Chains A and B, each alone.
Chain A
Amino acid sequence: DSGVTQTPKHLITATGQRVTLRCSPRSGDLSVYWYQQSLDQGLQFLIQYYNGEERAKGNILERFSAQQFPDLHSELNLSSLELGDSALYFCASSVDTRGYTFGSGTRLTVV
């Protein structure tokens, strides 16, 4: 157990739908990161939050959004889902710049 908790582990949904992925960071970590992993794109950085505020943005689609709550857990919202959004979505957390701890991921399948 890495200490980073992601739920759900698996999600199957239809095109056009909206889903929410949840992440609880490791105790004491203020930063949360979201990554998308797909076969053709590899690990793509989506977004980072630090203590509730957006810190950095990567290749995140406008249909996707995220937030970090006062208790530091984070949610990634994916809307108007397309088949190409099927991927593994990872959350990671860190206390500083010296590396991340990853969760086990949420596998999203859009049908």
Chain B
Amino acid sequence: AQSVTQPDIHITVSEGASLELRCNYSYGATPYLFWYVQSPGQGLQLLLKYFSGDTLVQGIKGFEAEFKRSQSSFNLRKPSVHWSDAAEYFCAVGASNDYKLSFGAGTTVTVRA
């Protein structure tokens, strides 16, 4: 069964600074990988996804993520954060033959002025 670990529960970053959120997955085959963002009181919005091909994927809101098979990782990055990026971020893993996604516990990002 697939599983996801997000090692950082909470990250604080200054506005304009870079951000990297870590995600490690466990899955036997080639996974489908996703990053979602949840603003307070809102649903989850898909930021980006990886299925195959180029291991660096671009998403919405200036985010990108890199799939590293050797490290079983799919870390999310943003070069310069904005105050509006304060939210909770979830990494998820799925598979081509399984509709169910497994989510990590989430990382809360606080942006300070």
Contact = CB atoms under 8 A, between A and B. Distances in A.
Interface string B43-61: 1111001010000000000
B99 A94 contact: yes
B43 A103 contact: yes
Contacts, number: 56
A48 B99 contact: yes
B44 A56 contact: no
A43 interface: yes
Interface of A: 2, 4, 31, 33, 42-43, 45, 48, 50, 55-56, 58, 90, 92, 94, 96-105
Closest 9 CB pairs of A and B: A102-B43, A104-B43, A102-B44, A43-B103, A42-B105, A56-B100, A99-B49, A97-B99, A105-B43
Given A33-B99, A98-B49, 8 more contacts: A31-B99, A42-B103, A48-B99, A56-B100, A90-B43, A97-B95, A97-B97, A100-B101
